[in-house]
Chains A and B, each alone.
Chain A
Amino acid sequence: MTTAEVKKAGIGKDLIVYLCLLAFAGLQFVIAYQNIDAWQMFARMLAVALVEAGLAVMFFMHLWTEKRGFVLFVLIFTGFVLLTMQYGWTDSFRLLRCGTNCS
């Protein structure tokens, strides 16, 4: 972020993003006390956490103001690796069903 951009932007946007993050964090605590099953709770909390992270990365870390190529590099590379890490969940369900007795 350049000096000119800093002077032009003001603190208003940062404050709004901060308040949004506080609200989303509060929402996660509300979800924790909802009478829903664990998977629904997990899905809702993950969705809120992703929105929070997106806001923080784009506005607090100013990724939004970087070159388009860099934004795409960060998002695509990170997203791809994070998605490929999800391969083990089926085995987790197998463990839950069979414990250590099934092969």
Chain B
Amino acid sequence: MSHADLTMQGEPAGLLAGPPFAIPTKKLAMWLFIIADTMTFAACLIAYGFLRNGTANWPRPFHSITNVALMTLILLTSSLTMLLGVRAAKIGDKAGAFRWTMITAAAGILFALLHIREWLGLIGEGMTLLKNPWGTGLFGTAFFSITGLHLTHVTCGVIALIVVGLRYQGGRYNADDIEVLSLYWHFVDIVWMFVVPFVYLLNLAH
């Protein structure tokens, strides 16, 4: 193969090729991250399912669905406000995009506070990572691991929303950056759609 075959007008041919699947590189990177993170959460949930299925005295400590229903409503609504932020950014409404992004971050903070309140309630009832008053100690390990991992994602998402929102307002980031971040936020919402039924609703005290 000659050098001429490898280059085109002085540029290596590989550098002229567009990004894979003809989508922006940042967006592709976020999608790949989301796919990898899906595997992480799936592994956690499957391990949880394995333990729950294989353990006879699995606890059912949840008496009320009010808190988890409220958390679900907040997270789902935050996905809608995130969409509105992306929409505003795409049509050049900078103030609107910043406002909706900050509203989304505020919803994330509210979700995290409700989550922490719930954790404190369970800890107050005697639940720790290794033991609880209702049954196998594995429950605390599984519950705190899965919900903690999700809460970490929400916290990181809130920080990212604030940072990206401020930088977008300052002109350093553009609408594409808001859109890429929105993918992450929707993913956090989707994970919650699986955490709620399997970790909370299947463990309701009837």
Contacts and interface: CB of A to CB of B under 8 A. Distances in A.
B193 to A, nearest CB: 5
B35 A18 contact: no
B31 interface: yes
B158 to A, nearest CB: 18
A92 B50 contact: yes
A89 B49 CA distance: 9
B106 interface: no
B22 A56 contact: no
Interface residues of B, number: 49
B54 A67 contact: no
Contacts of A48: 197
Nearest to A94: B54
A42 B202 contact: yes
Contact of A67 (B23, B46, B189, B201): B23
B79 A18 contact: yes
6 contacts: A1-B179, A21-B79, A22-B76, A57-B190, A93-B54, A99-B56
Interface in B156-206: 175, 179, 182-183, 186-187, 189-190, 193-194, 196-198, 201-202, 204, 206
A100 B197 CA distance: 28
Nearest to A25: B72
B2 interface: no
A66 B50 contact: no
B50 A49 contact: no
10 A-B pairs with the lowest CB-CB distances in the bound complex, closest first: A95-B54, A45-B197, A70-B21, A32-B201, A6-B90, A92-B54, A92-B53, A92-B50, A52-B193, A60-B186
Interface string A35-47: 0001001100110
Nearest to A6: B90
Contacts of A52: 190, 193
B193 A88 contact: no
Given A11-B87, A67-B23, A53 B190 contact: yes
Contacts of B197: 28, 31-32, 45-46, 48-49
Contacts of A99: 56
B91 A56 contact: no
Given A32-B204, A45-B202, A89 B53 contact: yes
